[in-house]
Structure 1
């Protein structure tokens, strides 16, 4: 007989998927540590999530059968790989990337119609994420459409929990990266000096990185970039379209954008959850979790916890940034946070600077994305673009 607890909720029910943020708010208030067959143990409170993030001895990141470098590692193994990748997101490298990022954003805004209805996800957000990621990695434009299709299949495979489908999309992505690595090896000294080429020269201890390790690193970067950056641009644009007063203020005071972006994405998270596994028996929220229990940390709830933020929907520019779990916390805090902040700031700066107004479209509501995605799969907006 199974010892698994009875489900407290169904994260794939229509009531939850119709509006994930509202559903998670309800769970946080009446069942903050909840079990389900799909997500196992879900944590909805800020304090519980932060406890897990800070206790990597009790809560392991090694949650998959497949290696994940360095996200799916614990110390001391994680420490060496983390030290290897952090320089890729150093301040000077991020700053040097800003002109490229700005150029992509301006080009995409210029391609929008002068006025009228647009589909923001298709016409701006997804293209921005694709082009920025390829530019950062030094990948050719020919990869844009294959990566767009791969992102869609990867989302579908994750949602289905079909191991065969998940394995197939993983092999497809591995094929992309291995071809790029082979091309750089063949080019020798003529290979472009970009992030992909630099990874070929990295060493861990006394040996070079294997191709499998490089594929894993790049896959972590790419999945995070393509999914969360596109979702973030959609969430930010929708929020400002619904808040014309704030939109006008940020258009006139772009220096407020960094704080405003972090606060909007606290209110509506671009990333729903991450996973951990308990290494020992532990109690969370009055529930006993056995060793080996799988956990889902629900960012989209923890960052709206009334115990920390008061009214979770109240927009405040002066929040304590240390409380915002947008980019995680502890030893696994997102190494690319500074790059993501740059990209989102530039995207919204250019979208606001090159428009007079961004508005919701009456009678054309957006279509919300389904777990594991967040934000919107379709976002009709009306724009008045500057000439």
Structure 2
């Protein structure tokens, strides 16, 4: 008997159609209501509902994170290997490390906010948010300022290649980034006891399964931290700043009650996601959302939709500070929940505290609407604001 080859699924939507490029959040809202498990050639099976996403997150045996042909530590690993590397990484985001970094985090935030022009137009993404992400990440990892501009240009190239699915360009861009990291590792090895006492140096002493981490593993760890941190953290700042400018009542409340900022930031970023999606692959036939998936199917977890699911959050656009935080998938859930969440929360709370504390008002500019980012980025690519 011959093996039966499953028919290729029909396309339910086009993630790169004009409407999705213009306002991807609105399109995801529509898909969640009319076709919550949808197939496309570009993204495979996209999951738009909170319940379906949670099914994937809670079952790593069926929904594997090993989706790339390249080493991805630990994002692209499954149990039990994932736990060994996650143990190493979690140690770099402890409360003690956050407390130690907080003063430097505050100084960077103060300097960035002080440098903002007052009373005129500010393009917040290019003039503030991207610098914030670069400076915070570089400071936390111990990277030199000389890397800021190369990394900023690298982010743009990486985003463009990812959007276009240009595998040749993506490989060249990854090789370029790896070169930056390997150069820093070589410098630290050469410095011996005189090497900077930072996270990058610390990784050289880490062991997995009883052996020292190899350069490929360290590069992968730092690449995952950097790619995620730089793009999403800049997006976070833009999303929060836009929300404050668009909602004067919320802005006033947070100015008067800054203790509400941690919950408010998480809620604002639930409403509009800085990270749009993550990938998985099915390891066996499975039913999800009423649809039958074969083994080996590509799956896209659409965070930007799941975190707006009306069955969980009611009106997804309402900013409510009394929601159950366990339902918010801003930092994921399950074994792959973001290890850097404590650092992200520290940085975001600090920068928004300084932005509110050193300004009288943050406002939108009439006739100059923001430009939405397109997949795989979230938030805004251009955000004109006035800060007084």
Q: TM-score, normalised by structure 2?
A: 0.98
Output the CA distance in 1 between the equivalents of 2:382 and 2:101: 29
Superposition pairs of residues 51-70 of structure 1, within 5 angstroms: 51-70=55-74
Deviations 1:29-84 (A, max 9, x none): 00000000100100000000001000001000000000100000000110100001
Residue 182 of structure 2 corresponds to which residue in structure 1? Answer: 178
CA distance in 2, matches of 1:206, 1:86: 18
- Provide Cα deviations, 1:10-37, integer angstroms capped at 9, x if missing partner: 0000111111111100000000000001
For the residues of structure 2 that align with 1:20 and 1:94, how far apart are their CA atoms? 34
Cα offset for 1:123? 1.2
Alpha-carbon distance in 1 for matches of 2:340, 2:179 = 24
CA deviation string 1:175-231 (max 9, x = no partner):
000000011011110001000000001011221000000000000000111011000
- Give the aligned partner of residue 238 of structure 2: 234
* Of 305, 326, 338, the match for 2:309: 305
* Moved segments of 4+, more than 2 Å: none
Q: Which of 171, 185, 188 pairs up with 1:167?
A: 171
1:57 and 1:238 mapped to 2: Cα distance? Answer: 39
Range that drifts further, 158-167 or 2-11: 2-11
Q: Give the corresponding residue for 1:247.
A: 251
TM-score (norm 1): 0.98
Q: Tell me how far apart the structure 2 counterparts of residues 28 and 248 of structure 1 sit (CA, whole Å).
A: 33
Uncovered stretches (5+) of structure 1, i.e. residues with no partner? none
The answer to whether residue 31 in structure 2 is matched with residue 32 in structure 1 is no
CA distance in 2, matches of 1:223, 1:214: 14
Q: 1:114, CA displacement in angstroms?
A: 2.6
For 2:259 and 2:210, the matched residues in 1 are separated by 45
Which runs of structure 2 are paired with 1:4-19 in the superposition (5 Å)?
4-19=8-23
Is the CA contact (8 Å cut-off) linking 2:236 and 2:274 kept in structure 1? yes
Tell me the alpha carbon deviations over residues 255-312 of structure 1, each in whole angstroms, 9 at most, x when there is no partner. 0000000000000010000000000000111111000001000000000001101111
Q: CA RMSD in A?
A: 0.8
Where do 5+ consecutive residues of structure 2 fail to align? none
1:144 aligns with 148
Number of residue pairs matched by the alignment: 384
CA contact (8 A) 2:331 2:338 kept: yes
| 1:98, distance to aligned residue in structure 2 (A) | 1.0
Q: CA deviation at 1:2?
A: 7.5
